[in-house]
Amino acid sequence: KKIILQTGADAVKLEGGSKIINIIKHLIKNNIPVQGHLGLLPQSQKGKFRYKGKKLAEGNKILKDAKLLETAGVFSIVLECVENSLAKKITKSIKIPTIGIGASVCCDGQVLVTDDLIGLNPIKVRFVKKYIDIRKYINNAIKKFKKEVKEKKFPNKKYIY
């Protein structure tokens, strides 16, 4: 509760299902809103990232966890890199909103990390659409700055006291 109050956050997002269900229940019992996160779990997963739900057992576990999270009281669930038909099945099976990130157009909403969306992150991931390559503009600005400093054109009278 202290973190919510001091940071001004509206909620917390936790990755996982049955393994962390007691933590989720405790937070919700203490009036802390929780958003679930299933599928690819980038903050807690080690190794190579791959999409989830291709295998039947894995998909069934994710669906079961989604229902468990809903029953526990989360207000929504992020589905990250979840196979398309599984994301659709989960979205139809629960009453709370699903938010897709590389999951499916069938989710109730979508999210992309801003650094990925604007091209700041050089890592290429299939589900990331770059709407602009901001790195190019940043690099050009840095080159211009460096050149002006070397040529003693910056700072000029306009930028000093």
β strands within 27-160, DSSP E: 34-39, 76-80, 98-101, 109-110
Residues of the chain with pLDDT under 70: none
**pLDDT of the residue at 1:** 78
**pLDDT of the residue at 45:** 83
**pLDDT of the residue at 24:** 98
| Spatial strand order in the sheet of 76-80 | 12-15, 34-39, 76-80, 98-101, 109-110
**pLDDT of the residue at 10:** 95
List 58, 80, 83, 151, catalytic entry: 80
- Coil vs helix vs strand at 29: helix
Say if residues 52 and 73 touch (Cβ distance below 8 Å): no
Say if residues 18 and 38 touch (Cβ distance below 8 Å): no
**pLDDT of the residue at 50:** 87
- 155: cis peptide before it, omega within 30°? yes
Whether 80 is catalytic is yes
The pTM of this model reads: 0.89
**pLDDT of the residue at 150:** 98
Q: Which of left, alpha, beta for 126 (phi over 0: left; psi -120 to 50: alpha)?
A: alpha
